[in-house]
Chains A and B, each alone.
Chain A
Amino acid sequence: MSHNHRAPVIEPLGPGADLDRSRSLALRYLIASTVILGASGLLGLVLRDSQAGVDRVHDGWWYAIMTAHGLGAFVGWAAFALMGLSFWVLAQVGFPLRRAGAFLAQLTWWLMVVGVAGVVVTCLVFEFGGSWVFLYPITLHGAGVWGKWTAFFFSGSVLLVGLAIITWCLSILDTVTGPALGAVKKGIFNRLGVAMGFGYVAPKRFATESKSVPYSVIPLTVIAIDMIIATLPLAVLLVEMMVQALTPSVHVDPLLAKNILWFFGHPVVYLLLFPSVALYYLLVPRYAGRPLVAGNIIAVAWAIAVTANVLVWAHHIYIDYPSGSPQAALNVTMEPLTFSVTIVSALSLYSLFFTIFRSRFQWNAASTAIFLGLASWMIAGFSGLINATIAFDQIIHNTLWIVGHFHQMAFLGIGFTVIGATYAFLPQFVDKPLYSESMARWHVWITFIFTMYNSSIWMYQGLLGGPRRFAILPHRYDSMNQLAVPVSLIIGLAQILFAWNIIQTMRGKGVGRTEGAGIGSTRAIIVGSLVLTLASVGGWAAYRAQASTTSSTATPATTTTSGESPEFTAGKQAFASAGCAGCHTLKAAGAAGAVGPNFDVTAPDEAKVIDRVANGRNAMPPYKGKLTTEQIKDIAVFISQSEEGSG
């Protein structure tokens, strides 16, 4: 279908505009981030399969992989890709990178690549498993798994990523406040106001020479300002963590540290969302063939956003309210502020959906990704509002519901703008046609359907109380975990289509067909997706049926406990109630902890156990005072008499 009769919505730039700098930088960001997507996606697959009992990973490595996956996918892929795409969005609306901006953009790329590489090495080589939020002071409590130098280098690597965010913000601010803005008053605050869209509300005060600021510029300006404010305190905390790793006497108040982390941790989510919104503002009108439906009210929403964004962090710590601290009051204050920051999403979704409404929307792989991204943003927004409500948060906080919510938001609501923009822009970047439109459509639909499916499993498990960040979940979640195995595998396989399409496009193998027909038709894709869904559910059901037959016929292993001494019996009880099983393996106690020594292997004698339990050693805390001397003796009797092979 041709739409050439309609005037292009975004005016092409005049000759001489220097687009090359923006183009080559955006391409470089896109390639690096897509490589990181592949790697961190693979790690995610390993995590889910291990939880389901397929190829179980040792606990220490599971948490290290979790840390690398989180930081890799969130920062190394989504944020990194969007940082690069933002340069191209700005160039498309008439704001190409200038010299200083381009220099900062190159610096950002290197800081990011080195920082992410440092995270990957400290996690995947040195087994750092502090999780992507590295909640102070966990970095410095490796429990014998990682030490001070790993903590030092991990914090340093994240610091480089933080610096990358700041240099990126500066490059954006340099670009948006340049002459392309056409601000009448040249003061820096006036220019920032114009770039944030204040001219839509106060056209005289924030006057522009010829035309109003393009909508896509607004969210990028807003996030560039906020991320500088939000990142600086975290950078100080990271430096403190590096110092504390080597000089343990230095330390920070943990509650203050928690607030600093989330002062950064909330806006960094919008470091992904707001550049995505800029992409939506650019691409939706382009495919709908008409300008963005937007009242001036949208500028009001962005003015709320720029302020509220840095005043809502406490919604991440709603269930922190230690005695004698003002945290509960802060949490209650930040609930309405958090609500207010959702207004900008509600208005943007209105603008974007009603731009599409009754337009002759051009449906192709890129625009489908953008449209499905919008739908996901809306759906994930609903669960986000639940998370933002204290009453509901106390139910779902730190459960798998949250994991479902942010995979829906980050991978679909945000990631689909990256994927859509890749299909839309890659041909422009390399000046070659897309390799296969059909393959792209299959990739988009399969990823959408199965990521929604995968997230729903998590959210359902979370409502059942399923805790997040558990290498091994309680058995009542087994069945749902197994259901997620084929689902996550299909998501992973679909990304091969993405990678292949990119590679072949860059190699110039595309033929330039734009319409999806035959195997690329919507009907074929829907049928194919249904078949895949049925196959994955069927496979799971068959597996469950087989597993239940096996377990019902197997004789449960029981240990006879006749003839035990009273110390032995008391020791067994104390072993269980003191939580020894949390870290130690001892078959006789049904304990499978993997942090401390395995008693079936090390077989310590009674005296040694008494000493270690009473006085502690390394990660082992002293239990003198927590347990009576008698209890400690009983535990020692129990352990020394029940080690494997000791009869």
Chain B
Amino acid sequence: MGLSGLTAVLEISFTIVCVLGIVFVIGIARSTRGDGPTLATDQAALGEREKTWFAVVVVLLVSVLVATIFFTPYGRSAGSDAQVVEVQGLQFAWIVPNTPIKAGRQVEFVITSKDVNHSFAVYNSAGTMLFQTQVMPGYTTKYVYTFHKPGTYHVLCLEYCGVGHANMQADLKVEA
């Protein structure tokens, strides 16, 4: 599943959960409006039920964990025919090679930083983020990605790096 698929999952599940939450909160608020006696006897039972709720929460959390843990950006390695693209981030520019990238072939970005923390974030021409990865001085970060469509892709910096942070942009040319 690509990031756009994950985004869709995120948007839909977040909306549903928020709506359920709001309905629950309104229900609690309305339950205080009645004029009858309060359910004082509920006290102990509700306290006991908290154990059940504990179990429910644990099950829910484990489910989310199991369902998502395989979609991390870690541990991807490039094939032998991957194009290696060296990128350097510095205050306040991305130094990317002028040679165009070939579409449909794996790219191994080898990214370093000259000075402070940066984040290499690539967007398509529609403004959708395709991926991002952090870069820090003294370390090399590798990210493997395949551009399927030729065109111009846009790089932003997504880790605050100083006064020129918003200007730290570059273009990546991808050819057929």
Interface residues of A (CB under 8 A from B): 59-60, 63, 129-131, 133, 135, 137-138, 141-143, 145, 253-255, 258, 289-291, 293-295, 297-298, 300-301, 317, 319-325, 328, 331-332, 335-336, 339-340, 342-343, 346-347, 350-351, 353-354, 356-361, 363, 371, 374-375, 378-379, 382-383, 385-386, 389-392, 394-399, 463-465, 467-474, 476, 576-583, 592-595, 619, 621, 626
CB-based contact B162/A129 at 8 Å: yes
Residues of B within 8 A of A347 (CB): 50, 53-54, 57
Residues of B within 8 A of A142 (CB): 162
State the Cβ distance, A265 to closest chain B Cβ, in Å: 14
**Sample of 20 further A-B pairs with CB below 8 A, known A258-B117, A359-B38:** A63-B163, A129-B162, A254-B138, A255-B136, A255-B139, A291-B43, A301-B54, A323-B139, A324-B139, A339-B61, A353-B24, A356-B29, A358-B34, A359-B32, A465-B123, A467-B158, A476-B127, A578-B95, A583-B167, A595-B164
Residues of A within 8 A of B21 (CB): 375, 378-379, 382
State the Cβ distance, B116 to closest chain A Cβ, in Å: 5
CB-based contact A356/B169 at 8 Å: no
CB-based contact A141/B72 at 8 Å: no
Q: List B157-176 residues whose CB lies under 8 Å from chain A.
A: 157-171
Question: Contacts A255-B139, A298-B50, A323-B139 known; A470 to B166 CB distance under 8 Å?
Answer: yes
Q: Could you name 13 residue pairs across A and B whose Cβ atoms are closer than 8 Å?
A: A135-B116, A138-B160, A138-B162, A143-B91, A255-B139, A322-B140, A347-B53, A361-B32, A371-B29, A383-B14, A392-B6, A398-B158, A579-B94
Specify the chain B residue showing the minimal Cβ separation from A378. Answer: B21
CA distance A60 to B57 in the complex (A): 46
Chain B 79-123 against A: per-residue CB contact (8 Å), 1 yes, 0 no? 000000000101111111010000000000000001111010101
State the Cβ distance, B172 to closest chain A Cβ, in Å: 10
Interface residues of B (CB under 8 A from A): 3, 6-7, 10-11, 14, 17-18, 21-22, 24-25, 28-29, 31-32, 34, 38-40, 42-43, 46-51, 53-54, 57-58, 61, 64-65, 68-75, 88, 90-96, 98, 114-117, 119, 121, 123, 127-129, 131-142, 156-171
CB-based contact A321/B167 at 8 Å: no
State the Cβ distance, B115 to closest chain A Cβ, in Å: 5
CB-based contact B43/A290 at 8 Å: yes
CB-based contact A319/B133 at 8 Å: yes
CB-based contact A135/B71 at 8 Å: no
State the Cβ distance, B173 to closest chain A Cβ, in Å: 9
CB-based contact B14/A350 at 8 Å: no
**Cross-interface CB contact of B164 among A351, A353, A396, A593, cutoff 8 Å:** A593
Q: Name which of B25, B47, B119, B166 has the most chain A CB atoms within 10 A of its CB.
A: B166
State the Cβ distance, A8 to closest chain B Cβ, in Å: 15
**Cross-interface CB contact of A343 among B58, B127, B142, cutoff 8 Å:** B58
Residues of B within 8 A of A130 (CB): 162
Residues of B within 8 A of A320 (CB): 134, 136
**Cross-interface CB contact of B98 among A382, A577, A582, cutoff 8 Å:** A577
CB-based contact B134/A319 at 8 Å: yes
**Cross-interface CB contact of A391 among B69, B94, B134, cutoff 8 Å:** B69
Residues of B within 8 A of A379 (CB): 18, 21-22
CA distance A291 to B40 in the complex (A): 10
**Cross-interface CB contact of B50 among A293, A357, A474, A576, cutoff 8 Å:** A293
State the Cβ distance, A626 to closest chain B Cβ, in Å: 5
State the Cβ distance, A561 to closest chain B Cβ, in Å: 19
Specify the chain A residue showing the minimal Cβ separation from B91. Answer: A143
CB-based contact B162/A322 at 8 Å: no
